[in-house]
Structure 1
Amino acid sequence: MTLTQSIVVDIQAIISTAREKAARSVDRERVIMYWHIGNRIFEEEQHGRDRAAYGTRLIKYLSEQLQPQFGRGFSSRNLNLFRQFYRSYPIVQALPAQLSWTHYSILLGIENEGKRAFYEKETVKNNWTSRQVERQISSHLYERLLLSTDKGSLQEAANIDDSPKEPKDIIKDPLILEFLGLKPEASYYEKDLESALITHLQEFMLELGNGFSFVARQKRIHLDGDDFYVDLVFYNRLLQCFVIIELKTHKITHQDLGQLQMYVNYYDRIERLRHETPTVGILLCLEKNDTVVKFTLPENSNVFASKYQLYLPTAEQLTKEIQNEVNKRK
């Protein structure tokens, strides 16, 4: 790169950074403006005797007055949303600066406060875009984490990914892989599933959860003349451990579990450094048998089986599964 090219690149970077900061600053001011509008509408409503009727008339009147001057952004629907925004977040100083108005408008669609708080915290922690938040909500991440943990309450589930203390805290079951575009009824091989996951690696890591980094694909292990290939290797910085993922497009067998346990043993004895925690193995399968898993592996094993689904579950399906899980634990 010549000196002239270097200065162009530097100035381009300066401009891009300044524009990004300006955009964030503008959006932050917009968030605060909407909060204050919602606050003012709510205060005015308290003066009406029939508050519900007065509030409806007030919103309609404000929309008629504001839209000609300020545009469609001040429709009755949006003014109601501003009011809801203030009611849901009554302390303006507590509004996370990382969230844009698009983030808030998505979060406000969640009625359950604990559930909304969970997605809000995860969005800030993981720097999710608005599209990523929508995807996590539509894939029912909150409900699926309830099924993946032995904690019993919705409130506790909001802190599941906060600071995992043991391997099972980072395991989701099931994993939803609808972004791969593979049809549930179609015939495909494990190599097809692996290729699709690599193609959509960013989405896959988002689905895996917090702290994952990609390490290798088809990692070769040479054992006394025999070669073995590990499907996918990740590293989780929160637990400070390798995470090995083996892919199976069939119902798992004890042989599948034994193979993955061998890979985990290899990484623990050869690859793992002294300061790192034991390696975790995840057998990602289309169908699992918990009893086979239980009796194949030692009780303190770091190998887990997790199902994957190629479609988004419905809320009814997850509610039923959660209730079944609650009944099991009683």
Structure 2
Amino acid sequence: MKKIINSGADSLLKKISSLLEEARNHIVREVDQTIVYTYWHIGREIVEFQQGGKEKAEYGSGLLEMLSEELTKRFGKGFSYRTLRKIRQFYIMFPNWPTLSAKSELPIFQTVSGKFKSSSNGQTLSAKSKSSKSSTVSSKFNSPIRQIASDEFKNLSRSHYVFLMQIDDPDKRNFYAIESNANNRSLRELKRQFDTSLYHRLVLSKNKKDVKEMAKYGQVINKPEDALKDPYVLEFLGLEERSFYSENDLEAAIISHLQKFLLEMGKGLMFVERQKRITNHEEHYHIDLVFYHRFLKCFVLIDLKKGKLTHQDIGQMQMYVNYYDRKVKKSDENQTIGLLLCEQHNHFVVQYTLPQGNNQIFSREYKLYLPSKKELQLQLEKKFKKSE
């Protein structure tokens, strides 16, 4: 009997601990978001006061020094001249950040209970608070800070913003902010995407019009080309220092680092299987990696090629794509995509092996090291010079 009680008590303890951990994490996130919202509004107040409705500021650093001194007297540490400059810069870099519209009715100070539905027997505490008395109190405290942020940046923490503010190019900064929020990226993942020049690599696969759209909406995937980047950076596989590695080694390393590989490949991709066998009588063929793209609603077949791409590689992928289109994909799914990840691209072979208007088979280079930003910038300049 005592063992049963102990067992039950252990289960109860785990449940309570889980609830407390969840509540603690929720409070930390709420506090962090509250600080972000508050800083943005402080920055806006400073900028609007300095400029007074004009294009250029009428008040210089003296205003921030005065504010720093007075705020420190009233609220303690945390309002140095340098901090206030950063808060002001935060607003300047993200001027349209919160949604101050009628749709944003929820206060950021909403309680945990307010996020759950009321029970059938009665109302939650948050539901009961909708009395006339609380409405009166609420109307008196109509601070803009109570407006919740738009979905555009709701997943970004204060640390995300500190990092993003180091990016000078506004288009690039907006892209990384939108992408990190939309995919709920951690700060570590955001830094990795920036360090591997995700923005530049996506730009290399797009035209000028699409590049401008990226700064507004992030990576929007409507067609196969939208999901591709060039090159793919696989530095996390740890193969750079090896003098020799085979295609099997490359595949095994990808499977061992599948989560990181999926992050590098981009949003929407789901792993299906490796070494998919296709059999015709006594002949067997193997597709290195099979994925499914939930946005494009199609299978994505990947073959890994060490060395320079050949027309035989393309022909083999064409067979795999045709097989999936005719034997595997369902009628409501889109055509299969074939991606050849090669060590060295061959534009001539691709151009004259594949038919004009091809939108199913693509080849991209992979790198086992982080490409330099200078190298990518030169490729960008070369690309857009050709398009002019």
Distance in 2, matches of 1:290 and 1:192, equals: 26
Task: After TM superposition, give the deviation of residue 8 of structure 1 in Å.
Answer: 4.3
1:83 to 2:140 alignment:
no
Equivalent residues in 2 for 1:215-230, closer than 5 Å: 215-230=272-287
Bigger drift between 74-83 and 272-281 goes to: 74-83
Task: After TM superposition, give the deviation of residue 292 of structure 1 in Å.
Answer: 0.1
Distance in 2, matches of 1:165 and 1:61, equals: 49
Deviations 1:146-165 (A, max 9, x none): 11123446413336864422
Show the counterpart of 2:114: none
1:314 to 2:320 alignment:
no
Structure 1, unaligned runs of 5 or more: none
Distance change in 2, residues 1:301/1:40 (3 Å):
closer
**RMSD of aligned residue pairs (Cα, Å):** 2.9
Task: After TM superposition, give the deviation of residue 318 of structure 1 in Å.
Answer: 1.5
Show the counterpart of 2:300: 243
Residue aligned with 1:148, SS: coil
1:26 to 2:10 alignment:
no
* Number of aligned residue pairs: 327
Task: After TM superposition, give the deviation of residue 40 of structure 1 in Å.
Answer: 4.5
1:286 to 2:292 alignment:
no
Distance in 2, matches of 1:27 and 1:293, equals: 50
Contact 2:64–2:85 (8 Å) recurs in 1: no
Contact 2:292–2:300 (8 Å) recurs in 1: yes
Distance change in 2, residues 1:258/1:56 (3 Å):
farther
Distance change in 2, residues 1:70/1:91 (3 Å):
farther
Distance in 2, matches of 1:67 and 1:129, equals: 36
Aligned to 2:22, which of 12, 17, 33?
A: 17
TM-score normalised by L of structure 1: 0.88
Task: After TM superposition, give the deviation of residue 126 of structure 1 in Å.
Answer: 0.7
Deviations 1:186-241 (A, max 9, x none): 32111121122122212211111121111111122222222222111111100000
Distance in 2, matches of 1:222 and 1:12, equals: 52
Equivalent residues in 2 for 1:110-189, closer than 5 Å: 110-152=167-209, 154-158=211-215, 162-183=219-240, 186-189=243-246
Distance in 1, matches of 2:335 and 2:169, equals: 37
Deviations 1:256-275 (A, max 9, x none): 11111111112111211111
* AA in 2 matched with 1:140: S
Task: After TM superposition, give the deviation of residue 52 of structure 1 in Å.
Answer: 9.4
Distance in 1, matches of 2:369 and 2:289, equals: 22
Equivalent residues in 2 for 1:292-311, closer than 5 Å: 292-299=349-356, 300=358, 302-311=360-369
Show the counterpart of 2:126: none
Contact 2:71–2:79 (8 Å) recurs in 1: no
Distance in 1, matches of 2:228 and 2:307, equals: 20
Deviations 1:38-96 (A, max 9, x none): 3344456559xx9699417834982797399745x545443322110022223563342
* AA in 2 matched with 1:34: Y
Residue aligned with 2:204, SS: helix
Task: After TM superposition, give the deviation of residue 253 of structure 1 in Å.
Answer: 0.8
Distance change in 2, residues 1:6/1:215 (3 Å):
farther
Distance in 2, matches of 1:316 and 1:51, equals: 36
Aligned to 1:208, which of 265, 269, 285?
A: 265
Residue aligned with 1:172, SS: coil
* AA in 1 matched with 2:305: K
Contact 1:35–1:86 (8 Å) recurs in 2: yes
Aligned to 2:68, which of 62, 68, 82?
A: 62
Distance in 1, matches of 2:187 and 2:230, equals: 24
Distance in 1, matches of 2:322 and 2:282, equals: 18
Distance change in 2, residues 1:219/1:127 (3 Å):
same
* AA in 2 matched with 1:13: S
Task: After TM superposition, give the deviation of residue 298 of structure 1 in Å.
Answer: 2.5
Distance in 2, matches of 1:197 and 1:70, equals: 51
Larger Rg: 2
Instruction: Among all aligned residue pairs of Structure 1 and Structure 2, give the percentage whose two residues are the same amino acid.
Output: 42
* AA in 1 matched with 2:275: Q
Contact 2:273–2:290 (8 Å) recurs in 1: yes
